Amino acid sequence: MFGLFFIVALSMGSLTSRLRLREAAERRRARQTDALLRVTQSAALAAEPAKGLAEALRTINELLRADTALVVRENDRSLPSVAHPASTFQPSAKEWGVVTWVYGNKQAAGRHTDTLPESAATWFPLQTATSLIGVLGVQFHRDQRLDFATRQMIEAFALQLALVLEKEHFIQAVSHAEMLAHSEKLHRTLLDSISHELKTPIAVINAAVEGMSGTSGPYLDEITTASQRLQRVVDNLLHMTQLESDVLKPHLDWCDLSDVINAARQAVGKPLESHPVTLHLPDYLPLVKLDHALLTQALANILHNAAIYTLEGTKIEISATLVDQTLRLILRDHGPGLPPGMEKSVFEKFCRAPGSPAGGTGLGLTIARGFVQALGGDITARNHPEGGAEFVIEVKRTSKFVPHDLPSPTNLEVRFTP
């Protein structure tokens, strides 16, 4: 009986010990779940994100009896120079090396790990399914060991913080996009309104100037020049509005490229009179099926740009080739060329190079590129090796070119290479 009682006591003691361990594990799991819930609520439901993150980190510190540091990436996906203000410790220069490694490799590192274990803190990536938001650092107060359960808990905290930060990032991105959309809509409306309001008085001025064509004088010349300049600004605003509202549809028809170039030169008018223009066209350049008005306006804007940005007497060259159904137009001036680094930005809206003549809007090249792209091509700018700026227009039109000597281009599909 004594042996039987002894065996029963051992069994009951073992069962009691297991129950106590299970109870302790359940309590710890309940504390962790409660802490995870409080972290999520604090960070996600706070009216001010900074205060919410501070409360979430405070909850983590109390549960782990440790200090935490939160490093959130910038909008350009680079790391900041300091940790988030809600952090309870700032990483040293040595710690920043570990932070950079964790952010670059998306793996935990630091103390209690096999990677950079000499670090004072353990760093975990704030990784979601779509992006890496930052890094979370945990620095224990005492020489504690990072067991498996604690590591799982910290990784759960890191995931929740990453999801909250990602949500805030998406909210900011959506707000910024909405603000840009409203600003762009207002911008287009303003351009359209101003351009239409200016058309009538400009037409009246032009009619009055034409009625005074029998007289001459310096004031009349100034009025004519000013009205032409104002007309060009209004036309640019209207063209920009058409491009941004996606209402511009090219009307393709067969046209002679030399006629297009001559029309562009006439459209530029007086600014081009003091610049000799040299044409380099093949003897047997075929007809091209393009929108005559769009290509003319694009060439006119580039020629006008070359005329006002170069000194009087500066030569301008225009050349054209047609190879493998690709029309290639090159317009080159012999002026100072484009400022270094602005070969692409010159096509942006309202972009003006340093030292630009007064009075421009910075829309001419933007409109030229928009018209060329509407034709299915593109335009690039570069500096010529021998000096001057060079603009290259390329339009690809398979089976849309015919030779001059054919009687009618209608319903013809031939491949012609000069």
Give the containing element (helix H, strand E) for 400. none
Mean pLDDT by 10 residues, the chain (418 residues): 87 85 72 68 66 81 86 88 89 91 92 89 90 90 79 86 82 79 72 68 75 67 73 71 69 89 89 90 83 90 90 92 86 90 84 66 83 89 92 73 40 31
Return all residues near 256 (Cβ < 8 A) that are at least 6 apart: 287, 404
Q: What angle do CA 194, 196, 201 make, to 5 degrees?
A: 95
Cα–chain center distance at 120: 40
d(CA 270, CA 304): 10
Counting DSSP H helices and E strands in the chain, the numbers are 8, 12
Note the pLDDT of residue 317: 94
Task: List, in order of start, the domains of the chain with CATH numbers.
Answer: 12-170 (3.30.450.40), 175-244 (1.10.287.130), 253-402 (3.30.565.10)
**What string of DSSP letters covers 183-231?**
HHHHHHHHHHHHHHHHHHHHHHHHHHHHHTTT---HHHHHHHHHHHHHH
Note the pLDDT of residue 214: 63
**What string of DSSP letters covers 253-321?**
EEE-HHHHHHHHHHHH-GGGTTS-EEEE--TTPPEEEE-HHHHHHHHHHHHHHHHHSS-TT--EEEEEE
d(CA 66, CA 143): 11
Phi-psi group of 315: left, alpha or beta (phi > 0 → left; psi -120 to 50 → alpha; rest → beta): beta
Residues 167, 44 contacting (CB under 8 angstroms): yes
Find, among 301, 325, 321, the residue nearest to 381 by Cα. 301
Q: 132: which strand partners?
A: 127
Which phi and psi (to 5°) does residue 129 adopt?
A: -70, -20
Q: 255 is written with which tokens?
A: 């046209």
Find, among 254, 404, 400, the residue nearest to 324 by Cα. 400
d(CA 153, CA 172): 29
Residues 56, 46 contacting (CB under 8 angstroms): no
Handedness of CA 173, 178, 180, 181 (dihedral sign): positive
Coil, strand or helix: which one is 396?
strand
Which phi and psi (to 5°) does residue 217 adopt?
A: 165, 160
Q: What angle do CA 159, 164, 166 make, to 5 degrees?
A: 90
